[in-house]
Each structure stands twice: as C-alpha cells, then as structure tokens.
Amino acid sequence: MAEETKKMAEETTPEVVVSDVTVMETPQPEPEKLRESPEKPAAPVTGESKVEGDKDEKDLVAESTSFKEESNKVEELPNPEQKALAEFKQLIQEALNTHEFTSPPPPPSPLAAKEKEEEKNAAPAEAPEAEPFTEVTSEPVAEAAPKTVEVELVKKEEKVTPPETKVTPVTAPETPSEPEKVEAAEEIKETIVEVPAAVAVAAAEEEPPATDEAEEPKTECTPPPPEEVSIWGISLLADERSDVILLKFLRARDFKVKEAFTMLKSVVTWRKEFKIDELLDEKELGQGLEKVVYNHGLDKEGHPVCYNAFGEFQNKELYQNTFADKEKLTKFLRWRIQFMEKSIRNLDFSPDGICTFVQVIDLKNSPGLFFFKKELRQATNRALQLLQDNYPEFVAKQVFINVPWWYPAYYRMINAIFTTRTKSKFVFAGPSRSAETLFKYITPEQVPVQYGGLSKEGEQEFTIAEPATEDIIKPASKHTIEFPVTEKCTLVWEARVTGWDVSYGAEFVPTAEGGYTIIIEKSRKVGANEKVISNTYKAGEPGKVVITFDNQSSKKKKLVYRSKNKPSD
C-alpha cells in the first residue's frame, strides 16, 4: 500500500532536473500575484554599466536632462496641480478639525459595550409598564385592570376563535364566569408588571432621567478647536510657505491627493514617534563624523551642497565607534536625521526661495565597504529609507562621484527604494570625470580642493565672491595663461588641474623693451597629491606673469584658475 501511495505521488508531482540533481518543483504563483509583485530593480539611469577608470574614459556618467525644478508659485502651476493643491488643503483642514493627526481614542472595553447593549434592550419594556405600576394597590385600578387585561385576552383570542365570537367578551362583562377571568387577569398582570417594575426602579436609581441626559449636550458639549500641526517649523495651512511644503508631498506622489494625504499623516506620526523636537536639542551626536557628512558652499543656482564621504569609514576606530553595536547604530541614524533637520531649518520656504539641496556622494576609497561591511550597508539602507519616506522632494540633484567599478551592482540592489522622480535627479561620474561633473553644477571656487576645486580650509587669499576661470588643456600640448601686472603691485594667483600629471612653470615678462624675463617658478612635474598651486609675485614695473602648463598625456585636462592685483606696501 505504501509503495502504491509513493508511486501515485511521484506521478502527480512535477520534477525539474538540474545538473543531474532531481528537485521537487515548488508551486508557481498565479499570474495575478505575479503582476502584483514589486517592480524589478532597474539599471542606473543611463550611461554605461561598467566603469573602466582612466584607461579609456569609459566612466559611469549618467545625467537626466529631462528633470527641471518646478516653480513653487501657486499661480504658475498648471490648473490640474492647482486643483490638487486646493483639494489637498481641504482634506488637511477637515483632518485638523476632527483631530485626525493626533492619536485616536482607545476602543471601549467589552464590559462597557455589554452594559450599553443591556440598557438598550431594557429601554422599550420600561415605558409601557411605568404608568400602570404606580396605582397597583388602589381599588379603582383593580377594577379597571381586568378590563384592560380582558381586552388583551380578547385580542389574543382573535387568532384562534371564529370571527362571530370576537365581540362577546366585551359586550357581556357580567357573566357568571367573569370572576374567574378577573382572577386569571390579575395573575397575568402580576407576572407582567412586577418584573419590569423592579428593573425600572433600579434603572431610575442608577441613571438620571432621560430629560437630563438630553439637556447635557446642549450646555456642556462644545466642538473642540482645530488642532495645530507644524512640520519643519511651519504650521500646516499657515501661509504660502506651507503651500511650498504641501507641494513637496504632492510631487512625491505625482499629485495623487489621497496618497499625498496618507504620506503626510504618516510623516507627522513618525516625527512624533521619533521625537524630532527633542532630537534637535540632543547633544553629543555625530562626534568624529564631521568629515563624513557636511555642508559646504552653494551650487550655481543657490542650493546648499551637502557632501557625503563614505571613504572616511576606512578608519577602523571611527567605524567601530559608529557601527559596533545596535545602540551606536541607532545613535548614528539619530545624528543623520538631526543633521537633516538642522539643515532644513536654514532653507527658505517662500515661493521664490531655495528649499532643496544638492547632494554629493563621494565613493572614493570605498571599494567593498557596501558589500563586505554589513553594518555600514544596513545603516546606509536604513538612512536612505528614512530620508526617502519622511523628507520628500528635498534633493534638487544627487551627484555620485568617484564611482568604482562595483557600484552599478550595488545600485541595482537599492534601486527599488527610490521613486522614478528621485532617480531622474541622479548623476554618476567615475574618478576621471568627477571634478568636471561637479563643475557643471557648482562653481570651482565653491568646490572643495579634495574634489578638484579651489575652496580650502583656513586663511585664503580669495573668497567665493572672486570667480575662477575654467579652461581646457589639450592632449600633448602646452597651455599658457597671462596675468597683467600694473606698476608696483603684488600679483596673487592660484590654479588647479584635474588629474594633474602635467608640468608647471611661471615667469615675469616686463613690458619695457630690453627688460629681462624673471623666472618665478622653474618648470616642474606636478603630482596628484598637490591640490592647488598658489603663489605671489611683487612687481616693480609693468609687465605680465606667464604661467605654462605642459600636458604630455593623451588626455585633455580641466584647468581652473584666478588672480588679482594687490597694492604694494
């Protein structure tokens, strides 16, 4: 029998043979379930799926030219978007009136519900019996009671007696059998009246009269005022600044009003649970992480630029202090949210203001960190998820620089976290094009020196208000720059070549005929470790300073420089 059962099971179960190993095929999901499955992660937004480094310039550079930051002026919005905003505000006002943003009251206990149901069932029996019960002992009621009960008995008899006998008990009340009917009626009256009377007395002692209950809502119950809800320091429905915030939620949900409203309620709830107000004043968060995430300068459109340098976690001590246990990981996430909240407080939420950031993600010196460092990968994914869910439309552009060869695979893993709108803002650049890519969005004088710009810490001869000039050094050629010099002045200059691997020299050429050329700096090879070339020359006569760059490589080089004349002492 067992052999027959086994044989039947083998005949009814499909098999799949893989490499000479027989495995039982698992039931396949139905087509409808397959259609409901999450979207398959896609490859990076354009560009190549592989980074070859500096060999043949096949860097992963992806840019979406279709995305453009929209206006926050309500009058400039298309009619459908204006209508969606008005509907969104109406939903919010109704929610504020009914206190939907606060926690709902706890449900009633089962005991209270049971008592309420018993009272409801007992209420109809009390009303008809209350009036006859008051005069039970008096004789007039005893005489009248048989008549009322007699009529009830006659009504009951109507269902079983013929039609011709209907009127007989009423017209002849003095028949010899009447006393027996009266006695029976009194017994019935006692059984009907006495039990509800006890219930009525108990209810009258425990509960106030019905008239008092009806008067209470009129005098004491008044509708509560609308609740006040603020987010990022701005009250909902306050003014045009709150319109800017509401547009962020609408755009994050493609102007689907109900979905945007659900997201807003979720964000308000999360902020209460995460205790954002307390988090802003929390101290001793982010110690040692100043170089991991920091704000530096503005882009060409005035957006604050936030840099994220994950390569700093190669420092083992910093890594252990940040991700060694669950408590430290939670502290890191709270610091990251605190940093975001403080940065948002510096934004201008007016319709003409700047209310988004440019994010720069530096992946230099981070090979394997995301794949082999479990704690960092978990922390990064959780931080990304928190920012994605609770900070809609705060990124104007997200630039990934120094992208290593392995990053496309990691991007596919986290691709499902981002919406299509968010991914349209992504830009990817390999090591050899990172500085050039940054210069598309940020002026060189605002880019830190470690990323190919001219901005450095400490005392500087130049400020961000003094712009730099961008130029290209062609492959296998010399490139010269001339700085005019007035009489008795000091010339100050600084220059930067992306990737370096060039030779550099400087000399002064006087304007007067027969003057001697003065070598300021001999031609020398500039290595990759040298960040910015800066020098000064005190001239005693008119002329010019000539700087020469000799590029013997087969690749073009990006050059940025600036200069100014200072009066001599």
Please state, rounded to an integer, the average pLDDT across all residues of the chain. Answer: 75
**Domains plus CATH for the chain?**
67-101+227-274 (1.10.8), 276-458 (3.40.525.10), 469-523+532-553+560-564 (2.60.120.680)
Q: Which residues pair with 398 in a beta bridge?
A: 359, 426
What 3-state DSSP class applies to 11? Answer: helix
CA dist., res. 510 & res. 547, Å (int) = 14
Average pLDDT over residues 233-256: 94
pLDDT in tens, 372-391: 577 888 888 888 889 989 99
pLDDT band at 416 (very low <50, low <70, confident <90, very high): confident
Residue among 381, 266, 395 at smallest CA distance from 329:
381
> Residue 369 corresponds to which tokens in the numbers above?
């960190």
What is residue 366's predicted lDDT score, i.e. its pLDDT? 74
Q: In the predicted model, is pLDDT for residue 269 greater than 60? A: yes
What is residue 148's predicted lDDT score, i.e. its pLDDT? 42
What is residue 549's predicted lDDT score, i.e. its pLDDT? 95
CA dist., res. 412 & res. 195, Å (int) = 76
Query: β-strands 293-298, 557-567: how paired?
Result: unpaired
Q: If residue 218 lies in a helix (H) or strand (E), which one and from where to where? A: helix 210-219
- With a CB cutoff of 8 Å and minimum separation 6, the contacts of 429 are 59, 60, 61, 399, 400, 401, 402, 403, 436, 437, 438
| DSSP structural state of residue 448 | B
What is residue 370's predicted lDDT score, i.e. its pLDDT? 59
Most confident of 143-157, 234-248, 459-473: 234-248
pLDDT band at 349 (very low <50, low <70, confident <90, very high): very high
Q: For the chain, how long is the longest CA-to-CA vector?
A: 161
pLDDT in tens, 396-413: 999 999 998 888 887 888
Q: If residue 565 lies in a helix (H) or strand (E), which one and from where to where? A: strand 557-567
pLDDT in tens, 102-111: 755 445 555 5
Q: In the predicted model, is pLDDT for residue 538 greater than 70? A: yes
pLDDT band at 334 (very low <50, low <70, confident <90, very high): very high
pLDDT in tens, 110-167: 555 555 565 555 544 444 444 444 444 444 444 444 444 343 433 444 444 444 444 4
What is residue 471's predicted lDDT score, i.e. its pLDDT? 93
- Report long-range pairs for 84-89 (Cβ below 8 Å, ≥24 apart): 84/250, 84/255, 84/257, 85/243, 85/246, 85/247, 85/250, 87/257, 88/246, 88/249, 88/250, 88/257, 88/260, 88/261, 89/237, 89/246
Average pLDDT over residues 200-214: 48
Q: Are 322 and 328 in contact (CB under 8 A)?
A: yes
pLDDT band at 286 (very low <50, low <70, confident <90, very high): confident
Q: In the predicted model, is pLDDT for residue 481 greater than 60? A: yes
pLDDT in tens, 16-39: 333 333 333 333 343 333 333 333
Most confident of 16-25, 66-75, 191-200: 66-75
Q: What percent of the chain has pLDDT over 90?
A: 42
Q: Which residue has the tokens 């882009």?
A: 299
pLDDT band at 303 (very low <50, low <70, confident <90, very high): very high
Residue among 290, 279, 268 at smallest CA distance from 331:
279
What is residue 392's predicted lDDT score, i.e. its pLDDT? 94
pLDDT band at 54 (very low <50, low <70, confident <90, very high): very low
The vertex-385 CA angle with 382 and 390, nearest 5°, equals: 125
Please state, in angstroms and as integers, the Cα–Cα distance from residue 248 to each residue in 181, 251, 448, following that order.
84, 5, 30
Q: In the predicted model, is pLDDT for residue 43 greater than 60? A: no
Q: Are 77 and 243 in contact (CB under 8 A)?
A: no
Average pLDDT over residues 331-357: 94
Average pLDDT over residues 174-193: 49
Q: Are 509 and 481 in contact (CB under 8 A)?
A: no
- With a CB cutoff of 8 Å and minimum separation 6, the contacts of 273 are none
What is residue 21's predicted lDDT score, i.e. its pLDDT? 32
pLDDT band at 500 (very low <50, low <70, confident <90, very high): confident
